[in-house]
């Protein structure tokens, strides 16, 4: 199965990409396209395009950005106007360090929002999370 990878105001992109590819390959997923977005508008365009092509869009970065560019803020604004998506469609992926990621699922599609640190990505995408992703998308 294919997924799109979107870097949003991310650092360590090469390291994150390699780690994510290795993790996702273990459950039969491979990247379709890898793009970047540097503004909320660009992110919206890329996510929309991605979900037309694939059932899974992975966003890396932006969770530590300030104010209006923060990925969590952007996603919450989007979901407040999207009638079919609510908190029941979202799952937090917290780490003991206080870092968070998210799984947002709607019908047959999913968005993973992950921090831009390869170690955090690996800690978040554990067996039960990968099983959930695989089960819901395959």
**Residue 21: which of 65, 64, 47, 60 has the closest Cα?**
60
| Separation between Cα atoms, residue 74 and residue 96, nearest integer Å | 24
> Mean per-residue pLDDT for 78-87?
57
What are 29-59's pLDDT values in tens digits? 999 999 999 988 898 889 889 989 999 999 9
Residue 128 has pLDDT above 70, yes or no: yes
Rounded CA separation 103/65 (Å): 19
**Nearest-CA neighbor of 63 among 55, 75, 54?**
75
Across 65-75, average pLDDT: 74
pLDDT in tens, 14-28: 999 999 999 999 999
Give domain limits for the chain: 2-137
Determine the 3-state secondary structure of 40 from DSSP: helix
Q: In the structure encoding, which two tokens stand for residue 59, read together?
A: 């966003």
Beta strands in 30-135 (DSSP E): 30-37, 56-60, 90-94, 100-106, 109-114
CATH topology of domain 2-137: Molybdenum Cofactor Biosythetic Enzyme; Chain A (3.40.980)
Q: Give the chain's mean pLDDT.
A: 87
Question: Looking at the chain, how many residues does it have?
Answer: 138
């Amino acid at each position: 199965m294919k997924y799109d990878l979107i870097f949003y105001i991310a650092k360590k992109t090469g390291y994150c990409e390699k780690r994510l590819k290795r993790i996702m390959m273990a459950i039969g997923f491979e990247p379709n396209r890898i793009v970047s977005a540097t503004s909320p508008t660009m992110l919206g365009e890329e996510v929309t395009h991605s979900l037309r092509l694939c059932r899974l869009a992975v966003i890396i970065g932006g969770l530590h950005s300030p104010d209006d560019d923060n990925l969590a803020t952007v996603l919450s604004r989007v979901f407040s106007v999207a009638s079919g998506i609510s908190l029941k469609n979202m799952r937090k992926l917290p780490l003991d360090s206080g870092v968070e990621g998210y799984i947002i699922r709607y019908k047959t599609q999913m968005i993973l929002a992950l921090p831009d640190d390869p170690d955090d990505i690996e800690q978040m995408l554990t067996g039960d999370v990968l099983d959930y992703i695989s089960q819901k998308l395959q």
